[in-house]
Amino acid sequence: MNASAADAAYERDARYLTTRITRDGSSGYPVAPGRYRLVAARACPWANRALIVRRLLGLEDVLGLGMAGPTHDEQSWTFDLDPGGLDPVLGTHFLRDAYLRRDPEYPLGITVPAIVDIGSGAVVTNDPDRITRDLATEWVEHHRPGAPNLWPRKHAEELESVIDRVYRDVNNCVYECGFAGSQEAYDEAYDRLWTALDWLEERLSTRRYLVGDTITEADVRLFPTLARFDPVYHGHFKANRNRLTEMPILWAYARDLFQTPGFGDTIDVAQIKEHYYVVHRTINPTGIVPKGPDLAGWRTSHGRERLGGRPFGDGTPPGPVR
Ligand SMILES: N[C@@H](CCC(=O)N[C@@H](CS)C(=O)NCC(=O)O)C(=O)O
């Protein structure tokens, strides 16, 4: 008998270093300009959300950014894009060093995003959901003038429920398709993914954004998955009922966000493709990176303005990328 679908299903390791950086500093790590470094990689969708939030909220001057290259071995992400292969602030080549400073026996994956305490060189947290939530709610004093409210209180419940489903049935579900260890596990994930994408196609037909009439954390959660959909998830992860470009509403929604400052300017499709196709040798043993798809459509008009909506509410878009 084959392993049951449950046995062969991909399970994300959701154990994190959960120390929070808070306004009152009760965790031992107070919000403080210049004290921490966000480490990300353009390739990674979980890190992408932190990059978007940092841009939208204008935190570039208070929270520095280290950027790992697109590929890594089983040991660690590395700062191979930096001169000399060293992060200019942390002075290390391997992100692993910052995890080992936190815990010399650190037993889990060396993941991005991570926030490092520059003084001690140790990772404070690598919990992606907590990172974006705390940047929005604990770092308020350091937001730029005109920063959007990504967690509007009046929509709190709806926001939680949409984010929850988007995480389970979209963001993580594409990985469940790609890394399924049995036909049954794949079929289950595929069906759940497309049920959710049909739900989103319907939901976004009458509203410009996922919750309320402004950009929120829910849009920040969905966008990085859509940006990777045709270049990676459709082929590499076998999430292939349709391409994003064949889902007219989701495709227009994705273009709308792509063209909104803070979203599209965090995307580097070459790095995204290199990461997935080179790193995941179990599902792409040759490591060959596809040349397509053609991305020209991302800059075409989306027509979503007719749904109304005020992307930044009473605020303003972020300025150009530094
Ligand atoms: N691990 C986190 C998100 C971060 C994450 O998985 N990042 C990936 C890249 S997209 C990573 O760093 N993988 C390296 C590893 O697991 O060793 C989660 O499961 O929600």
pLDDT at res. 4: 46
Six token digits for residue 96: 């692993």
Looking at ligand 1, which residue's alpha carbon is closest to its atom 17?
109
Six token digits for residue 202: 């319907």
Active site residues: 44, 175
Residue 168 in domain: yes
Residue 274 in domain: yes
14 lines ligand 1 (CB under 6 A): yes
Q: Do residues 159 and 233 both lie within one domain?
A: yes
Residue 17 in domain: no
Pocket test for ligand 1, best of 17, 46, 76, 237 (most atoms within 8 A of CB): 46
pLDDT at res. 2: 36
pLDDT tens by residue, 245-264: 999 999 999 999 999 999 99
Q: Do residues 113 and 174 both lie within one domain?
A: no
In angstroms, the CA 285 to CA 196 distance is 30
225 lines ligand 1 (CB under 6 A): no
pLDDT at res. 83: 97
Between 71-80, 140-149, 235-244, the lowest mean confidence (pLDDT) is in 71-80
Q: Do residues 169 and 293 both lie within one domain?
A: yes
DSSP 290: P
Distance in Å, CA 7 to ligand 1 centroid: 21
Q: Do residues 231 and 121 both lie within one domain?
A: no
Q: Do residues 159 and 299 both lie within one domain?
A: yes
pLDDT for 47 beyond 50: yes
Residue 272 in domain: yes
Averaged pLDDT for residues 287-315 = 97
Pocket test for ligand 1, best of 16, 44, 279 (most atoms within 8 A of CB): 44
pLDDT tens by residue, 155-205: 999 999 999 999 999 999 999 999 999 999 999 999 999 999 999 999 999
pLDDT at res. 96: 98
Q: Do residues 79 and 171 both lie within one domain?
A: no
Residue at which a domain ends, from 142, 171, 198: 142
Q: Which residues pair with 36 in a beta bridge?
A: 117
Looking at ligand 1, which residue's alpha carbon is closest to its atom 16?
109
124 lines ligand 1 (CB under 6 A): no
Residue 5 in domain: no
299 lines ligand 1 (CB under 6 A): no
Q: Do residues 160 and 132 both lie within one domain?
A: no
Q: Do residues 285 and 204 both lie within one domain?
A: yes
In angstroms, the CA 186 to CA 281 distance is 18
168 lines ligand 1 (CB under 6 A): no
What are the DSSP E strand ranges found in 108-231? 114-117, 122-125
Looking at ligand 1, which residue's alpha carbon is closest to its atom 11?
111
Distance in Å, CA 112 to ligand 1 centroid: 6
In angstroms, the CA 6 to CA 177 distance is 13
Q: Do residues 279 and 206 both lie within one domain?
A: yes
We report the CATH number of the domain holding residue 58 as 3.40.30.10
Residue 238 in domain: yes
pLDDT for 18 beyond 80: yes
Residue at which a domain ends, from 94, 120, 142: 142
216 lines ligand 1 (CB under 6 A): no
Q: Do residues 174 and 300 both lie within one domain?
A: yes
pLDDT for 1 beyond 60: no
Averaged pLDDT for residues 3-13 = 69
Distance in Å, CA 93 to ligand 1 centroid: 18
pLDDT at res. 318: 98
pLDDT at res. 6: 52
Averaged pLDDT for residues 129-133 = 97
In angstroms, the CA 270 to CA 136 distance is 29
pTM exceeds 0.85 for this model: yes
Pocket test for ligand 1, best of 72, 112, 233 (most atoms within 8 A of CB): 112
Looking at ligand 1, which residue's alpha carbon is closest to its atom 15?
109
Look-up of token digits 């060293």: 86
- Domain interval for residue 46: 36-142
pLDDT for 126 beyond 50: yes
Task: Label residue 7 by pLDDT band (50, 70, 90).
Answer: low
Residue 114 in domain: yes
pLDDT for 50 beyond 90: yes
Q: Do residues 193 and 296 both lie within one domain?
A: yes
Residue 258 in domain: yes
Looking at ligand 1, which residue's alpha carbon is closest to its atom 9?
44
Residue at which a domain ends, from 87, 115, 142: 142
pLDDT for 79 beyond 70: yes
Between 2-11, 124-133, 173-182, 191-200, the lowest mean confidence (pLDDT) is in 2-11
128 lines ligand 1 (CB under 6 A): yes
We report the CATH number of the domain holding residue 231 as 1.20.1050.10
Cβ contacts of 177 within 8 Å, gap of 6 or more:
186, 189, 190, 193, 233, 237, 238, 239
Q: Do residues 190 and 260 both lie within one domain?
A: yes
pLDDT tens by residue, 96-111: 999 999 999 999 999 9
Kindly state the percentage of the chain with pLDDT values over 90: 93
Number of domains the chain is built from: 2
